[in-house]
Amino acid sequence: MRALRRFTVRAQLPEQLAPLGELVLNLRWSWHPETLDLFESVDPELWRATKGDPVRLLGEVDHDRLTALAADRRFVRRLTAVADDLQDYLAADLWYQRANLAGAPSAIAYFSPEFGITEVLPQYSGGLGILAGDHLKTASDLGVPLIGVGLLYRAGYFVQSLSRDGWQQERYPGIDPHGLPLTQLTDSGGRPVKVAVGLPEGRTLHAQIWKAQVGRVPLLLLDSDVEDNQPGERGVTDRLYGGGTDHRLLQEMLLGIGGVRALRAYAGVTGNPAPEVYHTNEGHAGFLGLERIRELVETGLSFDEALEAARAGTLFTTHTPVPAGIDRFPRDLVARHFGGDNSWPGVPVERILELGVEPDPNVFNMAHMGLRLAQRSNGVSKLHGIVSREMFAGLWPGFDAAEVPIGSVTNGVHAPTWVSRSVLELTDREPGPSLLSDDAAGFAKISTLPDDVVWSIRRQLRERLVAEVRRRVRASWLERGAAPGELDWVESVFDPDVLTIGFARRVPSYKRLTLMLRDRERLRRLLLHSERPIQMVIAGKAHPADDGGKLLVQQIVQFADDPSVRARIVFLPDYDIGMARFLYSGSDVWLNNPLRPLEACGTSGMKAALNGCLNLSIRDGWWDEMFDGQNGWAIPTADGVEDPDRRDDLESIALYELLENTVAPRFYDRPAGGPPPRWTAMVKHTLSTLGPQVLASRMVQEYVQRYYVPAAVSARTTAADGLAGARDLSAWKNRVRASWPGVRVLNVDSAGLGDTPQAGQSLVVRATVELGGLAPEDVDVLASYGRVDQSDRILDPATLSLAAVGDSEGALRYEGTIPLGRTGAFGYTVRVLPRHRLTASVAELGLVANP
């Protein structure tokens, strides 16, 4: 019979082993080798059986074993040393404390719908969640005072398996929070702390709060599976990205609104400072801005004033390069949940709906709301920043896409999580700084390592991957219904001396999982080449509702099932963090072939590169800016070819050509049977030069310096003197918007040049401007100038602020001098833009007056 409910009973630890319980509840163990080694030594066989889950380990370990360990002075000394090391880590002054950043925030809230920290806490589906987990871990390592906010999904994402014919199947095993490395947030009386979010028709959505401690960073996870809720509300946090539109809206209301309320409750219970900066990781958490507006309206601000105060301290990060990837809800559904009997006093539903306006009047766009509620925003690679500025340019009419105020911080990955121990130990044997030092200086010494040492480590990692592939292939076939006696062939799957290519990611169509199958016979020849064979390990999950993605998975699986190639190509189901570590470290080449420019960043190749794996990728996302010709290979793209089949054909041919004529020959070019010199040179170059660039420490430091600190300064400035700054900025914006139709550039002329302008001369530019009742300090009159193309578009313009020099019949005259610093076609223009000390960009209001 089935149990009605399940729960986990944890072991009662002897007093000498009490620090074990503390170590388990701080997820630093997930990236700290010494702690993992300590857990394994508790019971090595059980550690393997529990798949490295320390909570399960302590829940299942035999009491006699614990008693023996408590009497083992050597184990207790190790335990004490590891526990002391954790306390030192938690108390140390790290980069953030040592940097003495003027205006640094005392606390930063980081909202995300998913967090990938460890496979033991299955609260992630793909890259967005893994990035969020790496962001929290790195903030902890740098001492950045981050607080994570998310949801606790009682069934996680899903466990993937395959049917006999290769069709993806999903399973949602229940998760018991008491069996996870979590603690429940309780008040001083030991009662669970809960938050509530109002719903239409007098309903209320309640949630309890669980806390995962990620090193120094607390992660608050809201859980709606509480008795206070009706059955419908109780299931809101059932699955990550599960349910229909109504369900998703409730999840996002709980994440944003309930998340802010959870932060308030956490500060009240712990005494920790409330966040000064709010980082919205994608549009899913956008409702957090509405809750902060509601709070401020309750203090006496108007909606517009509260909007400015909330925006000042908010950063929005977009992760999608395509409109289809944005959460969009029916406008009527949002109106029903924020209006009528569930409306907030002083927060009119009409104003809320304006925040999500897009060209389709029936749709509420969460990304548009996120951008409108944040004074600062960014994409996640340089190319993605360009794509985002173009995609969202309509929110800033009158501005060129290059001027849209969306910056970029290229993602990075958490090296202690993703760099294999073999690579770390290899570099630690050499004199000089550690590979994981704050300044990443340790990567430089890799270039001096002997080729045979590097090659030996790479083979060792490939051998580990081969063993893991065989284990998982066997398990998958057994689950698909094969009998053990049918699986003798599994022992010949893969070869530790064959060129190994990894490909693993989510399976939306733009990532083109099956591009490699465009010419199956050619792929078959590459796999089975008599002198230069390749082997391919593939993994990835399609969304449960995406039958097109499932079909792609099935096509790969059915090809890999063919007895003639199954020793050289495999699909491994249930891709997760645990599997990923083997793939990233053991592959020789990491393949990525998305449709450019639809890959926002794509960090899997970064993790592979940190282990000496070479990237073979379309120049999209991070690879577009970091490929240097020696750290891997760029697959040529057929940009401009509109027929998608034709484009896929051309790019697949380019992929085959590279594999056959460049990649494989270089791998197998081994003079006198030794290591391949050109290959090992590329591996060393990748590790020593690309390694420091892809680190999440670089990413988080950029966020701190370019976004968190400026946002904190803006938030404090608008909040000073009883929120006088917010009131002033709101009044100014309303006055500027009302007056802007009267702002005009009446005349522009220039002087100072003869008939043949020459480099080194100067051009005096004059403009006559009518301000429509605004004061001169309300505007900036800018001259933009530089080289022009055939259509007179100014390329990479420089700007000069013109000075007011007098009146002219009710208008103002402005003047400035432009240097002619280069030869060739040159042009300039003059524009009027709003200006205020509390705006973060000249384009913030989306207003501009052109001649």
Name 786's bridge partners. 827
Instruction: Tell me what the mean pLDDT of segment 266-293 comes to.
Output: 96
Q: Find the largest Cα–Cα distance for the chain.
A: 98
Lookup: tokens for 704: 């701190």
Half-sphere exposure of 638 (CA within 13 A, CB side): 16
- 206 or 796: which leads in pLDDT: 206
Distance CA 384, CA 409 (A): 9
Q: Give the per-residue pLDDT at 2.
A: 62
- pTM of the entire structure? 0.96
What average pLDDT does the chain have?
Answer: 94
269/529 Cα distance (integer angstroms): 65
- The gap from C-alpha 449 to its chain's centroid, in whole angstroms, comes to 33
Q: Record the tokens describing residue 235, joined without a space.
A: 């299931």
The string of pLDDT tens digits covering residues 564-575 is 999 999 999 999
pLDDT for 260: 98
Which value, to the nearest 10 degrees, does the dihedral of the CA atoms of residues 560, 566, 568, 571 take? Answer: 40
Q: Return the pLDDT at 3.
A: 65
What is the arithmetic mean of pLDDT over 351-372? 97
Q: What is the pLDDT of residue 760?
A: 74
Model confidence band, residue 11 (pLDDT cutoffs 50, 70, 90): low
Checking if the pLDDT of 440 tops 90, the result is no
Block residue for tokens 């103002």: 812
Tens of pLDDT, residues 214-227: 999 999 999 999 99
- H/E stretch holding 501 reads strand 499-504
CA distance 281 to 284: 8
**pLDDT tens sequence across 690-736:** 999 999 999 999 999 999 999 999 999 999 999 999 999 999 999 99
How does pLDDT run across 406-415, given as a tens digit for each residue? 999 999 999 9
Count CB-CB contacts under 10 A for residue 589. Answer: 24
Cα angle for residues 395, 244, 553 (degrees, 5° grid): 95
Rounded to an integer, the average pLDDT of 432-442 is 81
Q: Does a cis peptide bond (omega within 30 degrees of 0) precede residue 597?
A: yes
826-829, Cβ contacts within 8 angstroms, sequence gap of 24 or more:
826/757, 826/785, 826/786, 826/787, 826/788, 827/785, 827/786, 827/787, 827/788, 827/792, 827/794, 828/750, 828/763, 828/765, 828/783, 828/784, 828/785, 828/786, 828/794, 829/748, 829/783, 829/784, 829/785, 829/794
149 strand-pairing partners: 111, 220
